[in-house]
């Protein structure tokens, strides 16, 4: 009996050692580009590897069209041909996700592990609506990603556009979001942007043609990213950038707080004095994902403080009596524009739940 047990123990020890040795040695890196089934991975020593996903990699909740996104920290096994096979993705600090298409239930992760979302907007052509900006801001709030708005192409502003700009700026400043006036073309306001983003992983998002790639080129001229032909995008709404990509940019010359690049869970890839710029394809409409009507108002920072004052705990702030949000609106303490967008998003969420 005793002998049998010892044998069993010895066998399990052998099996354990065998399994440990059988585990492939893993390397790790940061996904900086995804094209089809290939992932470009940046290594801690600055090198890069092209990797594919392990054949039986389980899709997260299988609702997402892309199981791995730029910004992901991955573990891969090196192959003889120099490429890698991704076995695992580290837990994400956060991510920005949208509907793959307007009515789709499938979702697409734009990027993960983001320190700052810069919404690039324009008031000339194309005109960015506050509805679009608010959908992106609500998503950023939900995932705890700080956000700001960069109004580009101010070189094209006439008096009327400056007036509109100042109105829109007042709305977002009051809601607590920093607003910048920039011109990628003329270099206006870029020093402030550099101060803002230095040492961070920054996602640039917005409509096609607002100048995201032009801005990245202006921030770091060595990038030489493809920029749209002005006549092309205005006529056809052409998308010049077709996939998201991270560009590590040495930002030693920009002011970097000593702890701005402090190690997070991606420490080995976050070289000090580097800023990670994420260029993305333009989005027409930002389809929000997985929100419930009850929590929506929490993602409007200027409404949050008012919520406990509503008479009903489940107040939708539409027509309920004793609603503190409606009161603030009537007193002009809350932007009518933001409130209108709140109602629009609320309606989207409710219609979405009724869809099969």
- Least Cα distance to 106 among 141, 143, 64 occurs for 64
Closest Cα to residue 249, out of 217, 221, 274, 219? 274
Taking the complex as a whole, the smallest distance from the CB of residue 182 to ligand GTP amounts, in Å, to 7
Gap between the Cα atoms of 119 and 155, Å rounded: 18
Question: Is 122 a binder of Mg ion (CB under 5 A)?
Answer: no
Q: Which two tokens stand for residue 356?
A: 């099969």
| Interface pick for ligand GTP out of 84, 126, 248, 282 (rule CB under 6 A) | 282
Is 280 a binding residue for Mg ion by CB under 5 A? The answer is no
Which of 15, 164, 174, 230 binds ligand GTP (CB under 6 A)? It is 230
Is 241 a residue that touches ligand GTP (CB under 6 A)? yes
Read out DSSP for 26-94?
EEEEEEEEEETTEEEEE-TTS-EEEEEE-TTPPPGGGTBS-SS-TT-EEEEEE-TTS-EEEEEEPPPS-
Q: Indicate whether 208 belongs to the interface with ligand GTP (CB under 6 A).
A: yes
Residue 93 touches which member of Zn ion, Mg ion, ligand GTP, none, C-beta under 5-8 Å by kind: none
Is the distance from CB of 199 to CB of 257 less than 8 angstroms? yes
- Please tell me the distance from the alpha carbon of residue 43 to that of residue 176, in angstroms, as a whole number: 37
Minimum gap (Å) between residue 295 Cβ and Zn ion:
14
Site for ligand GTP in 156-185 (CB under 6 A): 156, 183-185
Rounded to an integer, what distance in angstroms lies between the CA atom of residue 228 and that of residue 213? Answer: 9
Q: Is 98 in the site for ligand GTP (CB under 6 A)?
A: no
Which of the choices ligand GTP, Zn ion, Mg ion, none does residue 208 contact, using the CB cut-off of 5 to 8 A by kind?
A: ligand GTP
Q: Under the criterion CB under 5 A, does residue 139 sit at the interface with Mg ion?
A: no
Question: Residues 64, 66, 107, 240: which binds ligand GTP (CB under 6 A)?
Answer: 240
In degrees and rounded to multiples of 5, residue 182 shows phi and psi of -135, 160
Binding segment for Mg ion among 47-55, 113-121, 193-201, 239-247 (CB under 5 A)? 239-247
Per-residue mark of binding to Mg ion, 209-238 (x: CB under 5 A): ---xx-------------------------
| Residue 278 site contact among ligand GTP, Mg ion, Zn ion, none (CB < 5 to 8 Å, cut-off depends on kind) | none
Are 124 and 156 a contacting pair, CB within 8 Å? yes
Q: How far apart are CA 269 and CA 261, in angstroms?
A: 10
**Binding-site residue total for Zn ion (CB under 5 A)?**
5
Site for Mg ion in 48-107 (CB under 5 A): none
User: Residue 143: which residues within 8 A CB-CB, separation 6 or more?
Assistant: 94, 95, 96
Candidates 112, 241, 297, 341: give the one binding Mg ion (CB under 5 A).
241
The footprint of Mg ion on this chain (CB under 5 A) covers a number of residues equal to 4
Check binding of 135 to ligand GTP (CB under 6 A): no
Sole binder of Zn ion in the list 325, 328, 329, 345 (CB under 5 A): 325
With binding defined as CB under 5 A, does residue 152 bind Mg ion? no
Supply φ then ψ for residue 272, to 5 degrees: -60, 150
Interaction residues for Zn ion, span 293-322 (CB under 5 A): 310, 315, 317
Instruction: Return the range that interacts with ligand GTP (CB under 6 A); candidates 21-29, 104-112, 153-161, 172-180.
Output: 153-161
Cβ atoms of residues 182 and 190 within 8 Å: yes
Phi, psi of 128 (to 5 degrees): -85, 130
Q: Which long-range contacts (CB under 8 A, 24 or more apart) does 294-299 make?
A: 295/142, 296/138, 296/342, 296/345, 296/346, 296/349, 297/325, 297/342, 298/141, 299/137, 299/138, 299/141, 299/142
Which residues contribute to the site for Mg ion (CB under 5 A)? 212-213, 240-241
Which residues contribute to the site for ligand GTP (CB under 6 A)? 152-153, 155-156, 183-185, 208-214, 227-230, 233, 239-241, 281-282
Which residues contribute to the site for Zn ion (CB under 5 A)? 310, 315, 317, 323, 325
């Amino acid at each position: 009996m005793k002998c049998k047990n010892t044998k069993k123990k010895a066998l399990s020890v052998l099996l354990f050692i065998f399994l440990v040795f059988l585990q492939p040695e893993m390397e790790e890196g940061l996904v900086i580009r995804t094209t089809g089934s290939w992932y470009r991975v940046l290594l801690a020593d600055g090198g890069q590897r092209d990797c594919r996903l392990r054949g039986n990699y389980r899709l997260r909740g299988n609702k997402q069209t892309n199981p791995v996104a730029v910004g992901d920290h991955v573990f891969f096994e090196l192959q003889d041909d120099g490429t890698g096979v991704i076995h695992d993705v580290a837990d994400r600090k956060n991510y920005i996700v949208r509907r793959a298409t307007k009515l789709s239930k499938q979702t697409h992760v734009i990027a993960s592990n983001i320190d700052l979302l810069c919404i690039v907007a324009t008031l000339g052509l194309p005109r960015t609506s506050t509805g679009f900006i608010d959908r992106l801001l609500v998503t950023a709030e939900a995932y705890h990603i700080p956000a700001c708005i960069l109004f580009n192409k101010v070189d094209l502003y006439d008096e009327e556009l400056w007036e509109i700009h100042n109105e829109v700026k007042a709305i977002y400043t009051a809601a607590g979001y920093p607003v910048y006036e920039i011109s990628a073309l003329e270099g206006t306001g870029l020093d402030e942007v550099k101060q803002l983003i230095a040492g961070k992983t920054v996602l640039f998002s917005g409509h096609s043609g607002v100048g995201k790639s032009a801005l990245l080129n202006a921030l770091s001229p060595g990038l030489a990213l493809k920029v749209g032909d002005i006549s092309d995008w205005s006529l056809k709404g052409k998308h010049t950038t077709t996939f998201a990509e991270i560009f590590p940019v040495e930002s030693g010359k920009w002011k970097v707080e000593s702890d701005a690049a402090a190690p997070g869970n991606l420490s080995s890839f976050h070289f000090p004095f580097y800023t990670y710029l994420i260029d993305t394809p333009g989005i027409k409409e930002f389809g929000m994902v997985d929100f419930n009507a009850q929590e929506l108002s929490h993602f409007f920072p200027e409404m949050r403080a008012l919520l406990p004052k509503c008479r009903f705990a489940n107040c939708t702030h539409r027509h309920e009596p004793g609603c503190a949000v409606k009161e603030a609106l009537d007193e002009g303490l809350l932007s009518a524009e933001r409130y209108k967008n709140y109602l629009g998003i609320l309606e989207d969420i409710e219609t979405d739940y009724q869809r099969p």
